[in-house]
Structure 1
């Protein structure tokens, strides 16, 4: 029986209409990489492929582990995203699904690859501060996806005894890998965000669903 659902935010429960790519473009410009730079297309492709990973980790990779530039770019990314956070909207049915899960006795944790500050801004923009049982970021758990830290931290904080009682849902292969590494029995890829069926199959997802609204139907078969 599933007792905890660990749900990603952007692309899974929250629609941000391309804000990640826009904020990334502004961020790398701050460290000297303009859109006209020959390196820019490859960097943008990396960002698309690593959606779901901790953003500071992405910048470290792109900037050759130059910590000062990575921190500068990450700070610029957070500022650019925050300036437009009001554009974020709920993925249709997400809040109702979360409430239904909680009403059925399933605890819900919302996770993100963003910083705690940005996560709070998104939650405030949507009026979601009290929607879930727990919210987590990579810095609060130790490491970001594809590491299992956020899933396992959610399990510990919510007093769940068995990793098999956990479901993980996200829109990227990184979410899937994190869920599998944590030992969750349901690890679902959702088709409202960055990755598709091919990426989810390659990563080993147990389920692929059209929308977060389909999650309760899956969980009802796990009893």
Structure 2
């Protein structure tokens, strides 16, 4: 087993309990604007930056180079932001099963914890605040001395809008935490794009969890270095793989 110094986690569905709320908010904004993508198509694009998803789906509905695509994508995205922010402000936000146990183990091992997400910064901050994971972070959303919670939060906003599967958020996290060798890094998430994210970054292990938005069967179709029942299985993976 390679000496792991950093674990990069996805948020919704991996460390933050997600009972398909994000897809429901996305679908509500889509229907409000006349975008008629199927639930299966929306699920398949979970984990990507949401404005990019709207652009992609509007292009699929209207065809390439339609002059209305960007306007409709921006309008849909703004509606989605309002719906999603209201959801997270008014509804309970909880960690996933095994999350806090896993964080505690990583802290005891001296392993850094970074969260990445397809959400923009404002929503990420709402979630972090409600979970109590954001209070000790500085203006760079970092605290390398944290003894609980997380050491770093990264959104596409911090890397010029380059969301998954581009490797930029992982590479940014490594720079912020002083990790120079990708073979000391694990990336873990609950969607196919999370798996591709880790593979594109060239980390030691791109792992999936099967109790989030995608099942084991859905994730197994994509390249990966291991599929876990939930993130507490990461403890055994690090200790014994």
Which of 180, 194, 209 matches 1:190?
209
- Which residues of structure 2 form unaligned runs of 5+? 60-64, 137-148
Partner SS for 2:150: coil
Which of 147, 152, 161 matches 1:134?
152
CA shift, 1:137, in A, is 0.8
CA shift, 1:152, in A, is 1.1
Tell me how far apart the structure 2 counterparts of residues 185 and 201 of structure 1 sit (CA, whole Å). 18
CA contact (8 A) 2:18 2:213 kept: no
Which of 31, 34, 49 matches 1:32?
34
CA contact (8 A) 2:19 2:213 kept: no
Aligned residue pair count: 215
CA shift, 1:57, in A, is 0.9
Which of 124, 129, 135 matches 1:124?
129
TM-score, normalised with respect to structure 2: 0.84
Verify: 1:212 aligned to 2:238, yes or no. Answer: no
Tell me how far apart the structure 2 counterparts of residues 60 and 149 of structure 1 sit (CA, whole Å). 21
More displaced, 13-22 or 171-180?
13-22
Verify: 1:56 aligned to 2:75, yes or no. Answer: no
Q: CA RMSD in A?
A: 1.6
1:153 maps to 172
1:82 maps to 85
- Which residues of structure 1 form unaligned runs of 5+? 34-39
Q: Residues 139-193 of structure 1: CA distance to partner in whole angstroms, max 9, x if unpaired?
A: 2123111111111111111110101100000001101111011111111110111
Tell me how far apart the structure 2 counterparts of residues 198 and 21 of structure 1 sit (CA, whole Å). 19
